[in-house]
Amino acid sequence: MLPHGINLAATKIVTVSTAYNSKTNVQKPMQKCLLYSLSFGLIAAFLLTLFSNFICSNLLHNKVSSSLFYIIAISLPFISMSSALNGYFTALRKNGKNALARIFEQFVKIISTAYLISLFMPNGLEYACLSLVLGEAISEILSFIFVFILYNFEKRKYTVEINKKVNYMKEIFKITIPVSLTSYIRSGLSSLKQLLIPLRLEKSGINCSTAISTYGLINGMAMPILMFPEVIINSFSGLLVPEFTYYYTRNDNSKISIIISKIFKISLLFSIGVIGVFLFYSDKVSMAIYNNLDISIYLKVLCPLLLFMYLDSIVDNILKGLNQELSVMKCNILDLFVSIFCIYFLLPIFRN
């Protein structure tokens, strides 16, 4: 129930507001974004608190206390508002402040969790879990306070009032609804896909333990290695949203074309280089990381797909910057349906 897409909404609305005047006062649109994120964060907290006993008894078989969910619920509004503020700094190209906030959050999380575990661990496993959740909640709350202080210092630089009236809540819903729907649908379909793979492998004739083991090799060992270089792609792909929103707002199509051409060339060269490494050095990579050559074959078979997988996040953010959230939603949902269809019908056939 958290407001998926509020980060994107804040990024786009602030970018549009400052597209023609870099000193535009963005306090009003950000107030709307924070109000929206706070409202949905409180709703999510209320629902989690309301159903915490049901979750504990029916889904977790009373293995953990409902008090864990109460602590998580307290942190949800702060997580939600932090997301909006992160979008604000992304729009202003102030990503150093986002990075500083994340470092601060991780520092607080490590310190608080270590202290709480040392304090409560002697009381049993449940108190250890409580320490982990409480440490996470403390870090999220303090991280929000930290980034909010940064926001208050930053917003003083933007003083020019916007003359035209804009329905910011309408713009926020216009962005967040497609993103939220995509997130919820993808979450459900992704879970279904993860369940189907070992089941369809088993259907092809191999036993259950072998099916789960094979799936574990691919999803748990090969894929993390293949996707690790994407960290470099992701470090700049998120910055594409404000860039393309800025030029789209100014109708500067020539600049958009130039940037797209450069991004695709660089990304393709990077992807081809990574594919080459995995094709020729998969044995060495497998032995160095897992001391197991069984992973090597999966690296070789799957690495050509990296060309499309790395470009996916780039294209996704470009389309979001060009006001194509609905198109992104349709493509992502279609992608999952096609994946599920292929897994269900083709996996047993090709396995045989």
Task: Look at residue 210 in the predicted model and tell me its pLDDT.
Answer: 67
Q: Give alpha helix (H) positions in the chain.
A: 6-17, 27-50, 52-54, 67-91, 95-120, 125-154, 168-203, 208-215, 223-227, 230-237, 240-249, 253-290, 294-302, 306-321, 325-345, 347-351
Q: 183 and 135, same structural domain?
A: no
Residue 171 falls inside a structural domain: no
Residue 341 falls inside a structural domain: yes
Q: 149 and 193, same structural domain?
A: no
Task: Look at residue 22 in the predicted model and tell me its pLDDT.
Answer: 60
Report pTM.
0.76
Task: Look at residue 231 in the predicted model and tell me its pLDDT.
Answer: 81
3 state SS of 24: strand
Q: 236 and 97, same structural domain?
A: no
Domain boundary among 166, 196, 228: 166
Task: Look at residue 60 in the predicted model and tell me its pLDDT.
Answer: 62
Residue 80 falls inside a structural domain: yes
Q: 276 and 158, same structural domain?
A: no
Read off the tokens for 168.
């910011």
Domain range spanning residue 326? 177-351
Q: 206 and 159, same structural domain?
A: no
Residue type, 40: F
CA distance 210 to 226: 23
Residues lower than pLDDT 70 in the chain: 1-4, 20-24, 59-64, 124-125, 158-164, 194, 198, 200-213, 215, 347-352
Domain boundary among 102, 134, 166: 166
Residue 37's CB is within 10 A of a number of other CB atoms, namely: 28
Domain boundary among 144, 166, 188: 166
Number of domains in the chain: 2
Cβ(25)–Cβ(162) below 8 Å: yes
Residue 188 falls inside a structural domain: yes
Q: 186 and 137, same structural domain?
A: no
Q: 186 and 156, same structural domain?
A: no
Residues 288-313 have pLDDT tens digits of 888 878 888 888 888 888 888 888 88
Task: Look at residue 38 in the predicted model and tell me its pLDDT.
Answer: 92
Read off the tokens for 139.
């870090």
Task: Look at residue 52 in the predicted model and tell me its pLDDT.
Answer: 81
Task: Look at residue 70 in the predicted model and tell me its pLDDT.
Answer: 87
CA distance 128 to 113: 9
Q: 161 and 18, same structural domain?
A: yes
